[in-house]
Amino acid sequence: MTEDGKRYVLPEDAMYVSAHKELQKVNTFNKVKASLKRRHDKISAWFILTDDLEKTYIDEAGNLEFEDRILQEMDNEKNDDIENPSLARILEKLVEASQKKEGKNLKHSADKLIVVQV
């Protein structure tokens, strides 16, 4: 994410931190890594673009890139749905899928539903 709020998607093969050697050298990366204690923890942190990071993530025209591929900008509305799906929407899709699959009524599906917050 940039300072002006634009979000970009990394290619699927570049989503793991092992692909980002230059980023791993930055002090902020080590702080974030030390702060993550449990699986699925999430931390947002800003990184200052050193010369090496700038060469890795920004092309000569100012486009965000990684490994010579321009990063695709995310639609913020779609991103909100992905990151913060409402419980009602999740339940609605679950019930719809269950009804289509088994042809059962809503009450029967709801009786079998358990919601756990982790």
105 and 55 belong to one structural domain: no
DSSP string across 18-46: GG-HHHHTSHHHHHHHHH--STT------
Q: How confident is the model at residue 109 (pLDDT cuts 50, 70, 90)?
A: very low
User: Domain total for the chain?
Assistant: 2
32 and 56 belong to one structural domain: yes
Q: Give the range of the structural domain holding residue 32, as residue numbers without chain letter.
A: 8-81
25 and 52 belong to one structural domain: yes
Q: Is 21 exposed, middle or buried (0-12, 13-18, 19+ CB in 10 A)?
A: exposed
101 and 76 belong to one structural domain: no
94 and 68 belong to one structural domain: no
Other Cβ atoms less than 10 A from the Cβ of 20: the count is 19
26 and 73 belong to one structural domain: yes
Q: How confident is the model at residue 118 (pLDDT cuts 50, 70, 90)?
A: very low
Phi, psi dihedrals of residue 9, rounded to the nearest 5°: -105, 130
Element (H, E) at 65: strand 65-66
For residue range 58-85, list pLDDT tens digits in order.
Answer: 999 999 999 999 999 988 655 454 555 5
